[in-house]
Structure 1
Amino acid sequence: MTNKNLIITFTRNPELGKVKTRLAKTIGNTSALAIYKKLLEHTQSVLRNLDCDKAVYYSVKIRDNDIWDNSIYQKHQQIGEDLGIRMQKAFENGFNNGYQNIIIVGSDLYDLKPNHITDAFNALTNNDVVIGPAEDGGYYLLGMKKMHTDVFKNKNWGTASVFEDTIRNLQNESVFLLEPLNDVDTFEDIKNNETLKALITT
């Protein structure tokens, strides 16, 4: 631990047929994998120079020789049956290791910029929780300075109700909202992004 702030990202191991399955229904598994790898590279480039500690949580198996530099990123295995449990375990691990402010961010946001993370940490100075709403009704970022376990329970993950249900859990806390961003799940999410569309092979 070198910093009181920790940024976490979850990643799926980039394997053919196992990532971006909704997107793959439209463009095929090969193109979906290429786009997911591009999104991972983008996320890594956004996070690597931030002034905070960094951790990546792998879905299946921790990898040593990949884009996540071992000298920059702590590496962990996701634990739990659903996304809520896995996120809760990651936050608990961070707080148990002495971090004061912890943020988790998705790894499938081509619009993510370093200022979204720095603004989120700054917001925790005067707020209990910070959330980055996703345009599909979920969220791309969640940050807090103590555990709020309710936000991880009783959610239909991947649906349009997640953000509203999370806000309802936090009605007695001060919550700062970042600007909404578009995370990439379907072809609709990339149809105006020429960089990602260029990765589609026919």
Structure 2
Amino acid sequence: MPTPVDFSLNHLLIFAREPVLGRVKTRLAADIGPEAALAVYRELLGLTAAAVAAAQVPATVWLAEAPASAAQATQPRPEWPGLPWRVQPVAESLGERMQHAFAEAFAAGAARVVIIGTDCPGLTPELLHAAFEALQHHEVVVGPADDGGYYLLGLRELQPALFANKNWSTASVLPDTLADTTRLGLRVAQLPVLHDVDSGRDLATWRNL
């Protein structure tokens, strides 16, 4: 049987955006319009938040940008009840922002850190638990997305190479990441492949699953 997970040593990072018209799902909005894209994003946020709440893992939400008003800047985010939130640092790449979030979690004492976004409707609390369990015996865990990226990445210690020299939001992200893990001699566990929703075609696929 699997060794019981000490959740006090686990930490989940959630990269998300505020559900604001015109600022979310821009690729999807190009296909279906900004209002419809915002509605889809709210749906994805709800699914992700429900999975996180059910998993009961300590978590921090990292927003892509600060809330619009100064009054909101000190308030809990209604989409993420009970969770602390931060604003992602200004950086040139998604990789740099993720590395920063991982570094903060490890510096705060976490032993196993997992990051997710809000694009994957198939994410479940069971998958989140499986990711942290995998990190007991592997240095890296990855949740492959069917578009060539990943919906989840987990580490036992900071690995800067995994966040560098990537063409983010392309089909090369996962293979390049796995190539780095091989080069570094890291043991990798892979979760089931899931479907991300980024475009109109992705949305149609999800609705037909």
TM-score normalised to structure 1 length: 0.91
Distance (Å, rounded) in 1 between the aligned partners of 2:143 and 2:85: 24
User: Hey, what's the Cα distance between the residues in 2 that align with 1:194 and 1:135?
Assistant: 15
Residue number in structure 2 paired with 1:142:
153
Query: Which has the higher mean CA deviation after the structures are superposed, 90-99 or 19-28?
Result: 19-28
Q: How far apart in 2 are the matches of 1:56 and 1:10?
A: 6
Q: Which residue of 2 aligns with 1:25?
A: 30
Cα deviation, 1:138-167, whole Å, max 9, x if unaligned, reads: 010000110111000011100000000000
Let me know the Cα RMSD of the aligned residues. Answer: 1.6
Q: Partners in 2 of 1:103 and 1:187 — Cα distance?
A: 28
What is the distance in 1 between the residues matched to 2:11 and 2:175?
A: 25
Residue 196 of structure 2: aligned partner:
183
User: What stretches of structure 1 of length at least 5 have no aligned partner?
Assistant: 196-202
- How do 1:49-128 residues align onto structure 2 when only pairs under 5 Å count? 49-61=54-66, 64-69=76-81, 71=82, 73-79=83-89, 80-128=91-139
* One-letter identity of the residue aligned with 1:7: L
Query: Shift of residue 194 of structure 1?
Result: 3.8
Change (3 A) 1:65 1:74: closer
Q: Secondary structure at the match of 1:141?
A: strand
Contact preservation (8 Å) 1:4, 1:52: no
Q: Which amino acid aligns with 1:134?
A: A
Q: Secondary structure at the match of 2:54?
A: coil
Deviates more, 1:164-173 or 1:58-67: 58-67
Shift of 1:49: 2.7
**More helix, by proportion:** 2
Instruction: Provide closer, same or farther for how the CA distance between residues 65 and 91 of structure 1 changes in structure 2, counting only shifts above 3 A.
Output: closer
Separation (CA, whole Å) in 1 of partners of 2:161 and 2:128: 23
Point out where structure 2 has 5 or more consecutive residues left out of the alignment: 1-6
Match of 2:4 in 1: none
Q: Which runs of 4+ in 1 moved over 3 A?
A: 192-195
Aligned-pair identity in percent equals 39
